[in-house]
Amino acid sequence: MPAAGILAIVGVPFLDYPRPHAFAHRGGAAHAPENSWTAFEHAVKLGYAYLETDARATSDGMLMAFHDRTLDRMTDAAGPINAKPYREVRALRVAGSEPIPRIEDLLGAWPDVRFNIDLKDEPGIGLLAGVLRRTGAWDRVCVTSFSGGRLRTARGLLDRQVCMATSPATIAAVRCTIRATSKGQQTRLLARRLHRLGVRCAQVPVKVATGPFIRRAHALGLDVHVWTVNDRSEMARLLDLGVDGIMTDDIETLRDVLIERGQWHPRDDSDAPRQANAP
């Protein structure tokens, strides 16, 4: 169910798709090389309306869908990706076969798909602002980061408010309000602050997504998205707890679980089965 708390989420296009939201983590890394065109295309064909990816800058200011700071793990090159110009990065291949996509190209490829974008470095912040200006994709992105500083900088550089996820400090604050004695007052103050900053969802690891945390986040008007969940039974358990979204590498299993529960909401123009076809 949608989060409905002291300050209910109103007018947030990124979150307006029926819940629970299914996120293809790095495009669905269990089925194709992570953050590759093949992974994203497979997720879109399955019916995923939400794709999760990472953003890193090249040395000459191109924003790429790439997770690691260095190229070593995923390509046959070495060293930081931000030390190489785009002309070199575009020639590299993930897992030996897949080019590294530009964020701008991904946003343009599927104009109805929503992208959860994890800002991985400082140079990427201003670049993302430019990408959103050129593509007009403001309503189709949620900006997240493990760095509260990067999120603050993004808020200052973006021309208009976009959906944003909580910082680690805010996650800690939400957890503290669970144990607070003056819950009502603290909840109201925190809810107003989050609403003012455009923070609309708490994206947390499985260990944080307890029943009390989910209830408190909902009371604050936040959706709860959990990462990275690849086990079928864990998916079902979290959905039973009332999470609003799940991020997974195993996008086929998550789709199957949601179909079985009557909670799968594929994109309208996908090849995915509708609820009527569920077993």
pLDDT in tens, 82-137: 999 999 999 999 999 999 999 999 999 999 999 999 999 999 999 999 999 999 99
Pick from 91-100, 108-117, 153-162, 174-183: least confident? 174-183
Pairing of strands 50-57, 63-65: antiparallel
The three-class DSSP label of residue 268 is: coil
CATH code of the domain made up of 13-50+116-261: 3.20.20.190
Pick 172 or 180 by higher pLDDT: 172
Q: What is the mean pLDDT of residues 136-165?
A: 96
Whether the per-residue pLDDT at 8 is higher than 60: the answer is no
Q: What is the mean pLDDT of residues 28-50?
A: 98
Element (H, E) at 183: helix 183-197
Q: Which amino acid is at 204?
A: V
Q: What is the mean pLDDT of residues 53-68?
A: 98
Question: How much is the pLDDT for 274?
Answer: 44
Active-site residue among 21, 31, 42, 67? 67
Question: How much is the pLDDT for 190?
Answer: 85
Element (H, E) at 15: none
Active site annotation includes 67? yes
Measured N-to-C along each axis, helices 168-179 and 148-157 cross at an angle, to the nearest 10 degrees, of: 110
Q: Yes or no: say if 46 and 30 are a contact pair by the CB < 8 Å rule.
A: no
Active site annotation includes 225? no
Question: How much is the pLDDT for 179?
Answer: 60
Banded pLDDT at 43 (limits 50, 70, 90): very high
Active-site residue among 21, 25, 42, 225? 25
